[in-house]
Structure 1
Amino acid sequence: MTAVVGNEETTGPARPADPTGAERPAQPGTAPPAPPEKDDDGVIVTLRETSRAAKALLLGVFVNKLAAFIQIYLVLFLTNRGFSPTQAGLALGVYGAGAVAGSLIGGSLSDRIGPRAATLVSMTGSAALIVSILYLPTYPLLLGAIFLVSTVGQFYRPAAQVLLTELTPKHRLVMITAVYRLGLNLGMTAAPLIGAALLSVSYNALFWGEAAAALTFAVIASLALPRRVSRPAAEQKTAEPEPAGRSGYRAVLADRRYSLYLVAVLLTSIVYCQYTATLPLDVAAAGVSLWWYGAAVSLNGFIVITCELAMTKVVQRWPIRLTALLGLGLVSVGYAIYAISPLPVWFMVGTLVWTLSEIIGGPTVFAYPAMAGPERLRGRYIGAMQSVFGLGTALGPVLGTLVWFQVGRSVWLWAALVAAVATVAGLLGMRTPATGAEEPQPAAASAG
């Protein structure tokens, strides 16, 4: 059995099996015996059997996302302060760049100091930086603070996924990732409304509200998240060996198959976000009422929030590469449908298809990095995926609108082709996670 305390590992002999077959009592500080396989792997059973620490983490992430106001209202805040729209747009781009950097740094921090410590640094640091934006007098200082807010505030994302992986039995990981994604989606859906209410009071209330939510998450992390997680030896066998002579992100990039997976995530995210940039332009140019665009976006949000958990209960038992094939491939099909005709029915059908890709493959694609690499690089594997996903969503609107202005509606055929290439890269890059003789046990957590 391997016990991890901060960055140090200590090893001890595993308990021999009882030849009589009787269940032996667990020793202090070790994980409980693995639960028997259950037919019901739905969200209720998963949450019932999830540890208190994992539930606290899910709550903290949800609270933090409920107050994710800055990215939504940053342009309005800066123009209200007298800065030009161009300056406000640049600041928003700087915020996006900070999110990419924050995922990389957060993955490294999670591996070095542990996910709990990385979360505390993220939430306490971002709370102070958020408030500072209100009082900085010059544009360069504001840009610096905005970059740091986004960077530091993103540290917790890889850390959260690492900790959920360590606290969750492997057969529950895809479902708990779906619950995690639901919390993010619900928070992001409610945040604009809560932010508008605070904005009716003042911008100060908006920024102080986001800082308070970050501090709330920090308190939850301090009280409920473990400093130490002990994992069973069987789980150690699932990771691929590290490339010799390399460490950190060099080791991640030296994993050629995982690098292909990162390419797939980057290309898919570039295509996926076209519904926010290119689709409204295409709908308006076709003379179709923008009501249909709003209906398509609302359809996506409604299906993801209401159906992803139910779909995950079905697909979590499928082979991981089959789930990835559907999750990535349906993006290509959905955007190709947009190219058929600029009629509202095709906009709706296309949106339905690529939304199916999200609810089928989203939890698996986001859970996979935690299964892909060595345990001591788990944070970096997750951080690399999250950073390229963020890079894709930042580049996508620029590239998509540029291509649309050049080739018109043929942009959807190009988008479908890029998504198809991403599908092939994903299938080549993803390994089927190895399984031991028995299902890995839930990790034993200690707050001390």
Structure 2
Amino acid sequence: MSTTDTGIWTTIREAPVAVKALLVGVFVNKLGWFLQVFLVLFLTSSQGFTDVQAGTALGVYGGGSVIGLIIGGSLSDRLGPRNAVMISMFGMAGFVLAIAYVPSYAAVLVMVGLAGAVGQFYRPASAALLTELTPENRQVMIFAVYRLAMNLGTTAAPLIGAALLAISWDLLFIGEAIAALAYAAVAVVALPRRKTAEVAEASTGSEPSAAPEAVKGGYGAVLKDGRYVLFLLCMFINAAIYMQYLATLPLHMKAEGLSTWWFSAVVALNGFIVITCELLVTKVVQHWEARLVAMTGFVLLGGGLAFYALPGGVAIFVIGTLIWTLAEIIGGPTMFAYPGKAAPKPLLGRYVGAAHAMFGLGSALGPFIGVWIWNTAGTAVWLWCGIAGAVGVVLAHFGMKRVDVEEPVVDTTPATEPLPSESA
């Protein structure tokens, strides 16, 4: 098997069975991604709760998701990615079903928070396993494929959910539980019981990546990595300003007298370009230094959002969206592949979990910050996004170390003793 070709189809075709299973599993799981989309509508229309109560529940879900990403990283390191995925999906199925039947608002909040937390355990585990099982020179591409699977499932989910709730709300929750159980089944059947750093290093003939004393302390060890902390701030800023297209952009377009149709059109434009073009762009930028990719992404993201501050009507919104969408397809796969390249192997799950958690925290706080600035300063919010993008450029420059991508070194000498994975 050749590992020098980093093209799209070769990367997918030659990926291990477990990697292909992860791609299928996350796609199926995202097809059932109904809870966050329809939670407010369910609580207000079906259960009779107020708008404030429904919004609070959605906030609890978001907070639980951030906590779940942190816990998921630790579970992946301690129990292995396969077990973390199984715990996540079996737990998610149970908590989602419980939301439809619990008797009180307080109980709803508890179930929603648990569903948000447990339902995110799988993400650091899946990303860690993709990193461990994919040659380093193909990791950016495989993360682009992973993002495509997530985006396709997420795009289709609202349509499927609308069809299910037209029949009954119960069917909507059952559908999400079934999707979670399908991913759990994939984990049971296709994911390796444990892929440890030592096994990975033995199979490639490489030396251990970190001394034992350098990887003790859990998330404390992550926070002691000063450069990586700067990268985590990059993830927060990236998410916080990226979310303005959902939080502040519709308010701005409405204030300009544009209909909801125009907002839907620019959002659809973003989704179409990401789904159709990200893999092709990744084929080129995967060979760039990760730091350069991230810095380019921040320039385009901050610049595209700052472009909205210009006068010009619909054309400004379309051009600005094209600019920051280019940032997404250039920077997205590299930003999410980088934690696996920067992490000591025994802390891989925690490094990945910390990055996902900071992105989730930025996604949760970004809309509040953006709307507050909009209400206070109007279109100056877009200039602040541009400044935040510039800060991201600086943080990426100093926080993302150079990672040289080398071809895997395969030991071709006969093994005198079986590897740990073979003797299990």
TM superposition shift of 1:287: 2.0
1:130 is displaced (CA, Å) by 1.1
Against the structure 1 CA distance between its residues 290 and 125, is the aligned structure 2 distance closer, same or farther, given a 3 Å change threshold? closer
TM-score by length of 1: 0.88
In structure 2, the residue matched to 1:145 is 111
CA drift at 1:153:
0.6
Q: 1:245/1:280 Cα in 2 relative to 1: closer, same or farther (>3 Å)? A: closer
- Could you tell me how far 1:266 is from its partner in structure 2? 0.5
- How far does residue 35 in structure 1 lie from its aligned partner after superposition? 3.1
Provide the C-alpha distance between the structure 1 equivalents of 2:208 and 2:229, rounded to a whole number of angstroms.
Answer: 19
> For the Cα contact (< 8 Å) 1:228–1:446, is it kept in 2?
no
Structure-1 residue corresponding to 2:318: 348
What's the RMSD between the two structures over aligned residues?
Answer: 2.1
Whether 1:120 and 2:86 are equivalent positions in the alignment is: yes
- What residue number does 1:43 align with? 8
Which residue matches 1:224? 190
Distance 2:394 2:210 in 1: 21
Aligned counterpart, 1:161:
127
- 1:78 alignment counterpart: 43
Structure 1: 5+ residue runs without aligned partners? 1-33
* Cα distance, 1:290 vs structure 2: 3.4
Alignment partner, residue 248 of structure 1: 218
Q: Distance in 2 between matches of 1:138 and 1:199?
A: 22
Taking a change above 3 Å as real, the CA distance of residues 173 and 396 of structure 1, as seen in their structure-2 partners, is: same
Preserved contact between residue 252 and residue 379 of structure 2 (Cα < 8 Å) = yes
Q: Quote the residue 1:323 is aligned against.
A: 293
Of 389, 411, 417, the match for 2:381:
411
Contact 2:26 2:183 in 1 (8 A): yes
Matched, 1:374 2:344: yes
1:239 shift after superposition: 4.5
Distance 1:44 1:129, change over 3 A: same
* Distance (Å, rounded) in 1 between the aligned partners of 2:67 and 2:21: 26
Moved more, 226-235 or 363-372: 226-235
Q: Distance in 2 between matches of 1:75 and 1:63?
A: 23
Instruction: Name which of 102, 114, 129 aligns with 2:95.
Output: 129
- CA gap of 1:446–1:244, structure 2 versus 1, over 3 A, is closer
Asked if the contact 2:40/2:51 (under 8 Å) is kept, the reply is yes
Amino acid at match of 1:162: A
- Is 1:91 aligned to residue 57 of structure 2? yes
Alignment of 1:197-276 (within 5 A): 197-229=163-195, 230-233=199-202, 239=209, 244=214, 246-276=216-246
Aligned mates of 1:434, 1:368 — CA distance in 2: 12
Distance 1:238 1:267 in 2: 33
Report the Cα offset of residue 298 of structure 1.
1.0
- The structure 2 residue matched to 1:426, chosen from 377, 396, 408, is 396
Aligned residue pairs, count:
412
Measure how far apart 1:435 and its partner are: 5.1
User: Where does residue 293 of structure 1 map in the other structure?
Assistant: 263
Normalising by structure 2, we get a TM-score of 0.93
For residue 59 of structure 1, what is the aligned residue in structure 2? Answer: 24
Higher helix share: 2
Deviations 1:244-271 (A, max 9, x none): 5851001001100000000111011111
Contact 2:291 2:400 in 1 (8 A): yes
SS at match of 1:417: helix
Change (3 A) 1:171 1:433: same
| In 2, Cα distance between equivalents of 1:446 and 1:151 | 35
> Who is 1:281 aligned against?
251
Q: Please say which of residues 230-239 and 378-387 is displaced more in the overlay.
A: 230-239
Contact 2:141 2:282 in 1 (8 A): yes
> Aligned pair in 2 of structure 1 residues 76, 245: CA closer, same or farther (>3 Å)?
closer
> What's the secondary structure of 1:232's corresponding residue?
helix
Quote the residue 1:383 is aligned against.
353
Partner of residue 33, structure 2: 68
Q: 1:235 to 1:345 in 2, by over 3 A?
A: farther
Q: Which residue matches 2:68?
A: 102
Look up the equivalent residue of 2:2 and give its one-letter code: P
Q: Distance in 1 between matches of 2:133 and 2:213?
A: 26
Would the alpha carbon gap of residues 238 and 310 (structure 1) be closer, same or farther in structure 2, given more than 3 Å must change? farther
Q: Does 1:395 align with 2:365?
A: yes
Worse-matched range after superposition: 333-342 or 367-376 = 333-342
Contact 1:241–1:373 at 8 Å: present in 2 too?
no
**1:235 to 1:127, Cα distance in 2 relative to 1, 3 A:** farther
**Residue 284 (structure 1) shift:** 1.1
Corresponding position of 2:415: none
Whole-angstrom distance in 1 between the partners of 2:397 and 2:3:
31
Partner residue in 2 for 1:184: 150
Report deviation, 1:142: 0.9
Relative to structure 1, is the Cα distance of residues 323 and 238 closer, same or farther in structure 2, using a 3 angstrom cutoff?
farther
- 2:408 corresponds in structure 1 to 439
Residues of 2 paired with 1:314 and 1:120: CA distance?
35
The residue type equivalent to 2:127 in the other structure is: Q
Q: Check conservation: 2:243, 2:367, Cα contact below 8 A.
A: yes
Secondary structure, counterpart of 1:432 in structure 2: coil
Output one character per residue of 1:126-146: Cα deviation in whole Å (capped at 9) or x when no partner. 111111112110111110010
Given that 1:261 and 1:426 are in contact with CA atoms closer than 8 Å, whether structure 2 keeps it comes out as: yes
Question: Matched residues in 1 for 2:205 and 2:59: separation?
Answer: 40
